[in-house]
Amino acid sequence: MNMYFISLGLLLFGALISLTVKEEWKLKICSFFSAISTVLLLITSFNIIKSGKIAAKSFYLSSLFGDVNIVADSLSAFFIIVISLMSFLGVIYAAGYMKPYILKGRKISGHCFFLMMLIISMLMVVTVQNSLLFLVVWEIMSLSSFFLVIFEGDKKEVLSAGIKYMVYMHISVLLLICAFALLNIKTGSLNFSDFVYAVSQNKHFANVIFVLFFAGFGIKAGFAPFHTWLPEAHPAAPSHVSAIMSGVMIKTGIYGILRVLTILGMPTKFIAYTVLITALLSAMYGVLYAISQHDIKRLLAYHSIENIGIIGIGIGAGLLGVVYSNPMLAVLGFSGGIFHILNHSLFKELLFLSAGSVYTKTHTRDVELLGGLIKKMPYTAVLFIIASVAICGLPPFNGFISEFLIYGAIIIGLPAPNIFVFLMLIVSLAALALVGTMAVLCFTKASGVMFLGNPRSQAAKDVKEDVPPVMTVPMTILAILICLIGIFPQYFIKLITAHVSAILQGSMVEQIMNSVVNLTGSISLLCLIFIVIFITVFIFVSLMKKKPKEYSVWACGYDKPNNRMQYSASSYADLFISTLRVFFKRISHIKKPSEIFPKEAYYEMETEDIEEAYILKPLLKIDERFLAMFEKIQNGNMRHYILFGLIFLILSIIGLIYIG
Amino acid sequence: MITFINILILLVIPFIMIGIIKKTKAFWAGRKGASIFQPVYDFIRLMNKETICGETTSFIFKLAPLISFAAILFASLFVPLADGKSIIEMPFAFIIFAYTMALGKFFSLISALDTGSSFEGMGASREACFSTIVEPAFFIVLGSLTVLTHINSFGSLKYIMLNSGIYGYLIIALIAVTLFIMLLVEGCRVPVDDPATHLELTMIHEVMILDNSGVDLGLITWGSAIKMFLIESLIAAMIIPANISIIYSVPAFLAVIFILSVIIGTVESSMARFRMTHVFEFIFIMSVTALIVLTLVTYSIYGN
């Protein structure tokens, strides 16, 4: 536990030192301290997971906070591994990514400081077990990420995205405050461990508490329908920040949900169904909208919603298993869901970082303007394609393992005790399959249009070389981890077995957990078989194949096809989107060719989030109209303001007398 | 021994299956038609030809056919073949099957986009789009069977009759329809797609491989033949009774494959390709039959 505090101290020290040095040195200092603390944190977490002991420290902070417990159990340790590793790689990448900004004379002290603060606060969120301190670090996390998002705040859309993010986060924190306040009233304590008894007594109270927490943490995690901040904030932020936010920070929402589930003890049916249905909705909604996006980072943000949904499906299936006492379903569901947290953070971070590399070279996020980058940026392209295959959940990469476990859970649970559970699970099965194929559609579009084919604009044509090693190395590490987890999952699944056994606490759980590990072992064997088959085919073909000749691509007999004639991202997705047009609000901007010699003509299509267009905007309009009624109060007349103050005072005194 | 027979069947029969389909089409058209071994000769010819790549293509284009082919071979390890058992028995095998198939599809889609052609993306778009309808139906069917037979792999196909009583024949018929449509979609046969067409605008699978040639094209045709063969084997696994000895099961299996190929040939000769918008409606039949299977299974288990 001491190592944990030392590393937090190191990170804070690094943040402070970085304020004092020259601009070019700031991120290097940050990377250095982040590296040391990551090593320390990894050692600590592995020890905790291996020994199964809970490391805890309790101290008296002040009369307000009371006793503060800092606890690192197997769940915290797992999250510490994810957070420290991903943020460390993000910080290294940042050193390369921010270089052009520094050369332009942009000051980055604030950025570095808040980056380190974000890492520290995330690390604290997963260990603090005192509700008040938890809210404080939660708020530090939200605020520091807000400052990171608005790095390019001189652009209007960045600022408005940042403010939107801020508003969402404060709705989230409000819900959390309500939940903690209710628990505090019930138990008179601020410590998580004291809540357990109070909640387990009353089923309805547990449901209310859970809904509050689920909504609060769900906003952070990006569950639909609380997701609309994600597709705004991620494109606005610098790429390493979006990578850390999407790869790690939104997972703290999932951490919160998992932590609350341990507090609640035995989950109710209501809780299980709420989680599962929300998760299904998120998964479908996320991928559906991802297909229609042209901004690569928006696309990835929608995919985060999808993947959070998949994690939720795993957890929801696990909860159903607990409720209907099917331990196999519970173990597989939780293992799949929690393992997907690690997997998603790996490939999502890699995707955001490689999208960032493309952005540094081409200065555009619009996939319609890219193309052919695989020849200029081969590393980035290959890494992006690996991550794309992984995020679609295809073997032999890591995404497959966790999705396979979730599928396994659902199939094991299918012979269900009653018809509702059965239908719920079969819907989840079909939904997962649908989400998987839609992800394939989406990522073939993204990787195909961005990296393959011909350049679609001058910006893409002008790219000379790949990004420097300082950016490719962290990406390569991520890709190696993705492959390793995909091929040898049986070693990595041990990171979560301790926690899954801890939450389920049954006599059979150990045994089932072992069979899950064996199952992943056999997948590993299968992956090796696949690789052997591939190598055999490869050798066979290279023996048969003569050196290929190059000719121009077949264009139906047309002699001079140009790059604009390629199939574009919109046209690739159009068949699908126009088939499902009821789910989209599509806005098109057309300028038709006119006159005898038409000069300018264009056709543009954008897709608006249906929730934003039909629910949030009308609601905001009503809200605006309602608030306009109070405009009269703000009339600039000082005497009126004093009167208001007086009325308020009198009312509060009356109120106090009445209560007291 | 039986594994060896299975592997032999897996590698050779797909060609002959395509040959039979072509022979059937020739028969209905009143022609004599080529020998049923013609696809084998075609394959050998392609293997000896030189490869030509588009100028815009990258190494993805050269690698993709290999990955797709390896994926299909790998997927075939999980499908019950001549003796009613798959080469590798594994729980949740149909997930691995579907996902490795999807891996192959992923690479064939991006290799189509790699050419930077104005046509190949169109085929890729269609292929990707249609598989979004096919997969959920496939999963619903196999999920329902898991509940019915308590076997969570393709083995469940063999025991439908034992567990479902009077509904058995109906369920088998519906699943056969579902898988047959899947076969037409994945194998790119009429009425979904016409493998013999010469108009790029109407093709699906063929337009994706316009620029492939030589060894690559050989692998792709072999791969897609194996893919069709695998789905036919799934239908065969359902029809051939479980627990009969190998001496009967191998000929029975080959007979089912033969009959199915004749049926495909007959369908191809008797119908025209659907318009692209109607293809969707056609594939949705698969979802409907899958849902009917689900309803029947639900009723037979929870109905009383």
Of B70, B139, B210, the CB nearest to A554: B210
**Residue A140, domain member (yes or no):** no
SS3 state of residue A568: coil
**Residue A348, pLDDT above cutoff 80:** yes
**Residue A10, pLDDT above cutoff 90:** yes
| Per-residue pLDDT at A281 | 94
**Residue A214, domain member (yes or no):** no
**Residue A152, both tokens:** 């390019």
Give the distance from residue A290's alpha carbon to the nearest chain B alpha carbon, in angstroms: 14
Q: What is the domain extent for residue A414?
A: 335-542
**Residue A577, pLDDT above cutoff 70:** yes
**Residue A468, pLDDT above cutoff 80:** yes
DSSP A399-417: HHHHHHHHHHHHHHH-S-S
Q: Are B220 and B39 in contact (CB under 8 A)?
A: no
Backbone torsions φ then ψ of A226, nearest 5 degrees: -100, 30
The interface residues of chain B toward chain A in range 43-102, judged by CB-CB distance below 8 A, are: 47, 50-58, 60, 62, 66-67, 69-71, 73-74, 77, 88, 90-92, 95-96, 98-100, 102
Q: What is the ipTM of this complex?
A: 0.95
Of B112, B118, B135, the CB nearest to A565: B118
Of B51, B134, B138, the CB nearest to A545: B51
CB contact under 8 A, A422 and B103: no
pLDDT, tens digit (0-9, with 9 covering 90-100), for A58-76: 888 888 888 888 999 899 9
Give the distance from residue B194's alpha carbon to the nearest chain A alpha carbon, in angstroms: 18
Q: How far is CA A297 from each of CA A230, A233, A241, A446, rounded to the nearest angstrom?
A: 10, 10, 12, 11
In chain A, % of residues over pLDDT 70: 100
CB contact under 8 A, B125 and A573: yes
pLDDT-derived band of residue A290, with 50, 70 and 90 as boundaries? very high
Which residue type sits at A398?
A: N
Residue with tokens 């944190």: A41
SS3 state of residue A588: strand
DSSP B244: -
| Per-residue pLDDT at B304 | 67
CB contact under 8 A, B90 and A522: yes
**Residue A298, domain member (yes or no):** no
**Residue A414, domain member (yes or no):** yes
What is the number of structural domains in chain A? 1
B2-15 exposure pattern, b = at least 16 Cβ within 10 A, e = fewer: eeeebeebbeebbb
CB contact under 8 A, A394 and B102: yes
CB contact under 8 A, A530 and B146: no
Question: What average pLDDT score do residues A247-273 get?
Answer: 91
Q: In chain B, what are the domain boundaries?
A: 2-302
Of B88, B132, B301, the CB nearest to A438: B132
pLDDT-derived band of residue A165, with 50, 70 and 90 as boundaries? very high
pLDDT-derived band of residue A394, with 50, 70 and 90 as boundaries? very high
Q: How far is CA A306 from each of CA A105, A486, A553, A609, rounded to the nearest angstrom?
A: 38, 20, 36, 15
SS3 state of residue A295: strand
pLDDT-derived band of residue A520, with 50, 70 and 90 as boundaries? very high
Give the distance from residue B157's alpha carbon to the nearest chain A alpha carbon, in angstroms: 15
**Residue A274, pLDDT above cutoff 90:** yes
Q: Are A208 and A265 in contact (CB under 8 A)?
A: no
Of B99, B214, B215, the CB nearest to A395: B99
| Per-residue pLDDT at A286 | 94
Question: What average pLDDT score do residues A198-205 get?
Answer: 80
Backbone torsions φ then ψ of A101, nearest 5 degrees: -65, -40
SS3 state of residue A59: strand
**Residue A548, pLDDT above cutoff 90:** no
**Residue A147, pLDDT above cutoff 90:** yes
CB contact under 8 A, A566 and B118: yes
CB contact under 8 A, B136 and A449: no
**Residue B236, both tokens:** 């065969």
| Per-residue pLDDT at B203 | 81
Q: Which residues of chain B have pLDDT under 70?
A: 304
Q: How many CB pairs under 8 A join A and B?
A: 244
CB contact under 8 A, A551 and B54: yes
Per DSSP bridges, beta strands B52-54 and A549-551 are parallel
The interface residues of chain B toward chain A in range 119-158, judged by CB-CB distance below 8 A, are: 119-122, 124-126, 128-129, 131-132, 134-140, 143-144, 146-147, 150, 152
**Residue A291, pLDDT above cutoff 90:** yes
Question: What average pLDDT score do residues A538-551 get?
Answer: 86
Please give the model's pTM, rounded to 2 decimal places: 0.95
**Residue A347, domain member (yes or no):** yes
SS3 state of residue B28: helix
Quick one: closest CA in A to B73, which residue?
A533
Q: Are B14 and B95 in contact (CB under 8 A)?
A: no
